């Protein structure tokens, strides 16, 4: 193990994966430090799930190499499996087993000793103690997510790979979840989490944005925003939907996004957009206020650019 590998929970370079002719993951290189919370973002079908499966040995890359917790991702998959907790995007526990039977089974798969108290504890924390004998298939979508999460953390893994763990989970449970994730990270556990929620992206130490199998940017959310050098305005005033239509195609305007009572107008060419803003402001009656574009603006912009480059 090299010195760098010791600091890195995940260290892969040049991973490629094809499904038939389809190039799903292109030259993925990723370095994640121990104790880091790393966010995985990207539109549907961008290859997030596939990348995660490559990391935990569920798929074999067509080329590329790397390590996960210091184990080779091609040759040492069984060691990786023992120390990684993987939560699948789709519910993949057994619907015809009860909640506690599912946890019991998972505990046995990891050869855990003293299963009873650990399972009781997990159920307690989940708040499912009274429903432990219900079939897992009978749980609501959000509860299924929470059960899966508990199941993949049962064996105290050193690295958590979570594929959209909070999809369909209510706000309170989501907040609890993120609090726990930060707690775990403080204890030195590494978390790689894919998500479509911007607020969750903001809560990651670092994040990466994937589109069409390419990792487009990575870094802290600040770095990601800065890297794109977008200019943005928040527009308020009457009849915004009608107004938005008149803005399309004006010089400097790349994206217009409606946010309830405001519009976000974003562009790559700050100077041009400033001129357009100035003239529209003069026309009235709408207000144009300069803002710093958020992650969402950045990602939508990235997606548009990626579409031009890779399709």
Partner 1 sequence: MSTALSWSRWSGIIIKEFIQLKRDRLTFGMIIGIPIMQLILFGYAINSDPKHLPTAVLDADHSLYGRSLLQGLKNSEYFRIDREIATEAEAGDLLAHGTVQFVVTIPPDFEKKLLRGERPALLIEADATDPNATGNALAAVAGVVRTALARDLKGTPSAASPASDPVDVRLHRSYNPEGITSYNIVPGLLGTILTMTMILMTGLAMTRERERGTFENLLATPARPLEVMTGKIVPYILIGLIQVTLLLGAALLVFRVPMMGSVLLLYLSVSLFIAANLTLGITFSSIARNQLQAMQMTFFFFLPSILLSGFMFPFRGMPEWAQWVGTVLPLTHFLRLVRGIMLKGNTFVELWPNIWPIGLFMLAVIGLGLGVYRKTLD
Ligand X SMILES: Nc1ncnc2c1ncn2[C@@H]1O[C@H](COP(=O)(O)OP(=O)(O)OP(=O)(O)O)[C@@H](O)[C@H]1O
For the CB of residue 99, give the shortest distance to partner 1 in the complex, in Å: 13
85 binds ligand X (CB under 6 A): no
Tell me which residue has tokens 């402001």.
281
Listed in sequence order, the DSSP H helices in the chain are: 3-7, 48-55, 77-83, 99-109, 115-126, 141-153, 171-186, 198-202, 221-228, 240-247, 270-283, 295-310
For the CB of residue 153, give the shortest distance to ligand X in the complex, in Å: 21
Region binding partner 1 by CB under 8 A among candidate stretches 29-37, 81-89, 210-218, 301-309: 81-89
Per-residue burial over 84-119, b = 16 or more CB atoms within 10 Å of its CB, e = otherwise = bbbbbbebebeeeebbbbbbbebbeeeeeeebeebb
Count of residues in contact with partner 1, rule CB under 8 A: 32
24 binds ligand X (CB under 6 A): yes
3 binds, among Mg ion, ligand X, partner 1, none (CB under 5 to 8 A by kind): none
Q: Strands 255-259 and 8-19: what pairing?
A: unpaired
At CA 205, angle to CA 141 and CA 10, rounded to 5?
A: 85
89 binds Mg ion (CB under 5 A): yes
45 binds, among ligand X, partner 1, Mg ion, none (CB under 5 to 8 A by kind): ligand X
Q: Residue 84 pairs with which residues in a beta bridge?
A: 159
58 binds Mg ion (CB under 5 A): no
Tell me which residue has tokens 């309170």.
172
For the CB of residue 89, give the shortest distance to partner 1 in the complex, in Å: 9
Region binding ligand X by CB under 6 A among candidate stretches 48-56, 77-85, 125-133, 264-272: 48-56
Tell me how far the alpha carbon of residue 10 is from its chain's centroid: 16
49 binds ligand X (CB under 6 A): yes
259 binds, among partner 1, ligand X, Mg ion, none (CB under 5 to 8 A by kind): none
* Residue of the chain from 26, 27, 97, 198 that contacts partner 1 (CB under 8 A): 97
Give the CA count within 13 Å in the CB-facing half-sphere of 300: 16
Is the CB of 111 or the CB of 285 nearer to partner 1?
A: 111
* Residue of the chain from 5, 76, 272, 296 that contacts partner 1 (CB under 8 A): 76
The token pair at 268 is: 């790559």
For the CB of residue 82, give the shortest distance to Mg ion in the complex, in Å: 24
Q: Strands 8-19 and 22-33: what pairing?
A: antiparallel
Q: Residue 11 pairs with which residues in a beta bridge?
A: 31, 67
Residues 206, 298 contacting (CB under 8 angstroms): no
For the CB of residue 225, give the shortest distance to partner 1 in the complex, in Å: 34
Which residues of this chain interact with Mg ion, rule CB under 5 A? 48-49, 89
């Amino acid at each position: 193990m090299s010195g760098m590998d010791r600091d890195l929970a995940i260290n892969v370079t040049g991973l490629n994966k094809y499904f038939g002719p389809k190039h799903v993951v292109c030259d993925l290189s990723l370095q994640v430090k121990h104790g880091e919370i790393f966010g995985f973002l990207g539109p549907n079908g961008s290859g997030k799930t596939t990348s995660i499966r490559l990391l935990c040995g569920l798929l074999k890359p067509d080329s590329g190499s790397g390590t996960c917790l210091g184990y080779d991702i091609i040759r040492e998959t069984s060691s990786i499996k023992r120390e990684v907790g993987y939560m699948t995007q789709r519910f993949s526990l057994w619907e015809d087993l009860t909640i506690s039977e599912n946890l019991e089974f998972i505990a046995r798969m990891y050869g855990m000793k003293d299963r009873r108290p650990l399972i009781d504890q997990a159920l307690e924390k989940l708040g499912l103690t009274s429903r432990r004998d219900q079939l897992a298939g009978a749980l609501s979508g959000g509860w299924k997510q929470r059960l899966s999460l508990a199941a993949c953390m049962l064996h105290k893994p050193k690295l958590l790979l979570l594929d959209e763990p909070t999809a369909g989970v209510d706000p309170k449970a989501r907040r609890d979840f993120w609090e726990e994730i930060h707690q775990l990270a403080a204890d030195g556990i590494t978390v790689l989490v894919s998500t479509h929620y911007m607020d969750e992206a903001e809560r990651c130490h670092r994040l990466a944005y994937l589109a069409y199998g390419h990792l487009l940017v990575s870094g802290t959310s600040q770095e990601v925003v800065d890297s794109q050098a977008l200019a943005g305005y928040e527009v308020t005033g009457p009849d915004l939907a009608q107004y938005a239509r008149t803005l399309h195609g004006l010089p400097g305007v790349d994206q217009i996004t409606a946010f309830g009572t405001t519009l976000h107008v974003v562009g790559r060419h700050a100077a041009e957009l400033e001129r357009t803003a100035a003239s529209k402001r003069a026309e009235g009656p709408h207000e144009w206020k300069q803002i710093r574009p958020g992650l969402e603006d950045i990602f939508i912009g990235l997606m548009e650019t990626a579409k031009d480059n890779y399709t």
